[in-house]
Amino acid sequence: MNAQEAISTGYGGAAKLNYLTNGTTLKSWLLTKDHKRIAIMYLVTVSAFFLMGGLYAATIRLELLTPASDLVESGTYNKVFTQHGILMIFFFLMGGLYAATIRLELLTPASDLVESGTYNKVFTQHGILMIFFFLIPSIPAILGNFLIPIMIGAKDLALPRVNLISLYIYWLGGGLTLFALMQGGVDTGWTFYAPYSTTFSNSFVMLVGLGIFINGFSSILTGLNFIVTIHTMRAPGMTWFRLPLFVWAHYAVSLVMVLGTPVVAITILLLAIERVGHVGIFDPTIGGDPILFQHLFWFYSHPAVYIMILPGMGVISELISNFSRKKIFGYEFIAFSSIAIAVFGFLVWGHHMFVSGQSIYAGMVFSFLTMVVAVPSAIKMFNWTATMYKGSISYDTPMLYAIGFMGLFLIGGLTGLFLGAIGLTVHLTDTYFVVAHFHYVMVGGQVIAYLGGIHYWWPKMTGKMYSEFWGKISAMLVFVGFNLTFFPQFILGYQGMPRRYASYPEEFQVLNIFSTAGASVLGIGLLMPAVYLMHSLFFGKAAGDNPYMHPGLEWRTSSPPPTENFEVMPVVTWEAYEFGEESGMDLEAAKQREAVTA
């Protein structure tokens, strides 16, 4: 093991090439067909978008600290924002810390600076960057891209060139969107509801729409690639029911990506033509149908919610099982619940439109189906809990994230039932209750799973071990900061504070101060991994090939893996998550693992 470790980390005499060292020129990265390199390039880009979206979020929270809308000033803010990115990163770093003090000074409602139009742009761009350019590609394009071929014992994805094209499309779409934000941004809300977006909005709807349209094809191609790869590239012995649940989750996600994304693409195309030509297809004054836009939009964008959460669930299945040292409970149920979520996810879009004027009977059906989606989600929750029961649990950083996920997703999921109940929704629509709900699922779910996954597979991706101490601190900061930020918003929403307003009645201020304070903690918690993970790249301990003594295929190759993943094609003779002797991953080995990490 030690000799192997020495070779794979380059300390031995004849250094073996891994995917990071096999070619070091810029060209070798930009023209690579290696899924692992493409994943790393996605990681860098997606993180940049996450940071930008986070900056917008910080602005929103600072703005909402006082009832009046006084922080965000006329127009210039956006330009400053993107053109002075570095300054703004500094602002984000310090902004959280200073937030409380600054807000104490600015408690006087300075209504002369009000420019709620800019506030509209800030929350719109926060939503667009986070959803289309961070959440959707985060786990699939980074972890999925990196891990799926290794997990199933393949040399690469089935269509490596398509994979590279999808990255370029993502860059192109993201670049156009950033360009649009620099030009002045967009203020329609990330949902682009017509006819505001087609007729009235005087912002860069076309350019941002084009960016999202293009970016959609990146998502489609990634999904397509995963489906093909999972079907045809599995190693000998790697049957469907030996696949890691991470792979099952990605199979379900890919179905949603391939089936859903084209619909939003065509919707945006119609929106664009309507905006340019004013044909009237979405304009009710001349016979068009704005509800049709909402139907088409949510037909994708609700399943897109599952694009955002299913990969996270896949990660959590891996983490829970590994850190409980126990075979996952109810493998088939978890696998098929992913597929069930993907299927039902296509049948519930109308619950975003309960008050839109759609038929009340449609609303009732959508309400019922929304309740049905809770079943497969609950199956997962119960099975994870059962996996932990009598497991040998260790509270490493990824496991802290996984446990955090379970708690937060539970709250997010149950409040989803509130919102799916058609009567209650009439009261809660467009309030902060909705905001809190989807942040509990999206941030408390996907972002936390993403962080857990990045930590868990960091040793595999880089060959280095991060600081466990700082990892745990940041995981706990994220958990505390997250709850402090978003739990008050449930109460705010229930009390009736509407979303998307820069100012609010004074009685809501206390909870908003809680929320902003929490956001600072959350921001610090989210930034810390960027620091200590980067630090570990250069100064981290060598991780070894299999630091967790896990039977999965990704742990049976070197860290970082060689370009074609395995020296010899693996033959799988063990079931998934078999930590016993059959897979050579018994308890003795686990002790050895402790000796290695110590």
Partner 1 sequence: MSSHYSDKFVYHEPGLQHQFDDMGQQEESVSIGMWFFLVQEIMFFGGLFTAYLVFRSKYPMAFAAGSNHLDAFWGGLNTLVLIVSSLTMALTVYYAQKGNRNMQVILIVLTMIFGATFLGVKAIEYTDKYNHGLIPVAGLNKKVKAEAGAEHGGAAEKPCWEVDHNAPPVEHPNPHGEFIWTDCSLAKMALDENILTASEKNQYLVRDENNKPVIDTNKFRDKVRIFFFLYFVMTGLHALHMIVGLGLMTWLLWSAFKYKYNGDYYMPVEMSGLYWHFVDIVWIFLFPLLYLLGRHFIHGG
Where does this chain bind partner 1 (CB under 8 A)?
Answer: 16-17, 22, 154-160, 162, 220, 224-225, 227-229, 231-233, 258-263, 265-267, 269-270, 273, 276-281, 286-289, 292, 295-296, 299, 562-564, 567, 569
- Return the sign of the alpha-carbon dihedral for residues 225, 17, 138, 25: negative
Task: Please say which residue, 44 or 286, places its beta carbon nearer to partner 1.
Answer: 286
Give the type of residue at 230.
I
Burial class of residue 544 (count of CB atoms within 10 Å of its CB; 0-12, 13-18, 19+) = buried
Smallest gap from Cβ 360 to partner 1, in A, equals 17
- How far is the C-alpha of 192 from the C-alpha of 476, rounded, in Å? 36
d(CA 595, CA 109): 60
Closer CB to partner 1, 266 or 422, in the complex: 266
> Which residue, 300 or 401, is less far from partner 1 as judged by CB?
300
Q: Which residues, in sequence order, are CB contacts of 11 under 8 Å at separation 6+?
A: 542
Task: Using the minimum distance from each CB to partner 1, give the nearer residue, 332 or 567.
Answer: 567
Residues 6+ apart with CB under 8 A from 105: none
Contacts of 45 (CB under 8 A, 6+ apart): 170, 171, 174
Give min distance, CB of 149 to partner 1, in A: 8
Q: How far is the CB of 162 from partner 1 (least distance, A)?
A: 8
Nearer to partner 1, 51 or 271 (CB): 271
Task: Kindly tell me which of 202 and 285 has the beta carbon lying closer to partner 1.
Answer: 285
Task: Read off the amino acid at residue 218.
Answer: S
Q: What is the nearest approach in angstroms of partner 1 to the Cβ of residue 164?
A: 13
Shortest distance (Å) from residue 565 CB to partner 1: 10
Q: How far apart are CA 313 and CA 305, in angstroms?
A: 12
Our CB check for partner 1 shows the closer of 282 and 577 to be 282
Beta-carbon contacts of residue 279 (< 8 Å; ≥ 6 apart): 273, 288
User: Phi-psi bin for 105: left (phi > 0), alpha (psi -120 to 50), beta?
Assistant: alpha
> Closest CB to partner 1 among 267 and 431?
267
Q: In whole angstroms, how close is the CB of 261 to partner 1 at the nearest point?
A: 8
- Cβ proximity to partner 1: between 22 and 116 the closer is 22
Helix 76-83, helix 85-105: angle, nearest 10: 130
Percent composition of the chain: helix, strand, coil (DSSP 3-state, to 5)? 70, 0, 25
Sign of CA dihedral 508, 101, 50, 43: negative
CB of 569 to partner 1, least distance (A): 8
Q: Minimum distance from CB of 153 to partner 1 (Å)?
A: 11
- Minimum Å gap between C-beta 591 and partner 1 is 34
How far is Cα 404 from Cα 440, in angstroms, rounded to an integer? 11
Identify the H or E element spanning 533: helix 509-539
Spatial contact of 130 and 446, defined as CB atoms under 8 Å apart:
no
What is the DSSP track for 380-428?
HHHHHHHHHTT------HHHHHHHHHHHHHHHHHHHHHHHHSHHHHHHH
Nearer to partner 1, 264 or 443 (CB): 264
Q: Is the peptide bond before 195 cis (omega within 30 degrees of 0)?
A: yes
The CB-of-146 to partner 1 minimum distance in angstroms stands at 15
Question: Smallest distance, Å, CB 254 to partner 1?
Answer: 9
- Cβ proximity to partner 1: between 277 and 505 the closer is 277
Encoded amino acid at 540, one letter: G
